[in-house]
Amino acid sequence: MKIEILRKKLKIIFKKYKLSSAHSKICTEAIINAELVGAHSHGLSRVKMYCDRISKKIINPKPKIKIKKISQSVSHIDANNSIGFVAADLGIKIAIKHAQKTGIGMVAIKGSGHYGLSGYYAEQAVKKNLITMIYTNAPPAVAPHGALKSLFGTNPICFGTPTGTEIPFILDTSISLINRGKIRVAARNNQKIPEGVALDNFGKPTIDAKKALKGVQLPIAGFRGSGLAWMVDILSGVITGGNHAGRVKDPFDDFSGPQNIGHLFITFKANLFQKNYNQRIKDNIYTIKKLPKIKGVKEIMYPGQNKFYRYKNNLKKEISISNIIKKDLETLIS
């Protein structure tokens, strides 16, 4: 489907579900971006879920968002159970303004929901020549080290920095070996998942996506990954006033109430301490790229490079949509 046609369809859908024109546009652009960078698990595959939660009145399409300014650099947002895209878009923009004014910005958000890709918001800060760190928690999927029950989310960690070129350095990674969204897509399409990334509800390794969703996902680096998940739960849940310690509701399966996800956005000027930051980061990247390469590797890539190339390449193409997603969109728009 052509990008512009898809853009119109998505805006119509979100407006139908009572979002304002401005909020519909925010949601649409974030979803299309996910498709263009190849993160299909965070794109069109979630549109029906968002709409279902609006229909059941656990996402507020007309939120009365409250912003509390704590200092010239710090703000706290109560998103009033808005769709996550809207809360996050506001959060990163305020964090950017704080950093531009004072050198550093910090925005905590509570009462939000799933907001798509952290890297999407990091790009906004990096384009303003800011370094950023972004944290958000998620529904239970990963067991704390030593526990039998999942409690932490896949809790992504995101870091972005300008590089002195048009391609930003953006590390956006979950603390699990595989994104939960990818498991959901695999389950819906009756596909297998890779070995060694999940256990079933009996604690046995599985490549069955549906069994993995009922079981436990495995963290990166064993107990270290579990520790990182805990760190993100504190930074995005405990600090902000959002849900934490396994209380974030699953957006697909739990309609008992709002998710109350917490987000934390930290931004600061890249040249706060060294005025020649761009020169130094270029030197850093150049030095690493010039290292001897293992067999089969043509270029040492930094985080964000591949995603940037995919985005540029996919802009020239139509967006491929599975029959299942097409059916979803047709039902939602009718």
pLDDT tens-place string over residues 106-115: 999 999 999 9
pLDDT at 155: 96
pLDDT at 33: 98
Burial class (CB in 10 A: 0-12, 13-18, 19+), 37: buried
Contact 167, 304 (CB under 8 A): yes
pTM: 0.94
Give the single-character DSSP code of 142: B
pLDDT tens-place string over residues 149-174: 899 999 999 999 999 999 999 999 99
Strand partners, 282: none
Q: Who's near 241: CB < 8 A, 6+ residues apart?
A: 76, 78, 108, 110, 111, 262
Task: Round to whole Å and give the CA distance between 20 and 194.
Answer: 40
DSSP state string for 206-249: --BHHHHHHSEEPBTTTHHHHHHHHHHHIIIIITTTS--TT-SP
pLDDT tens-place string over residues 232-258: 999 999 999 999 999 999 999 999 999
Report residue 115 as tokens: 């907001």
pLDDT at 63: 98
pLDDT at 260: 98
Low-confidence ranges of the chain (pLDDT < 70): none
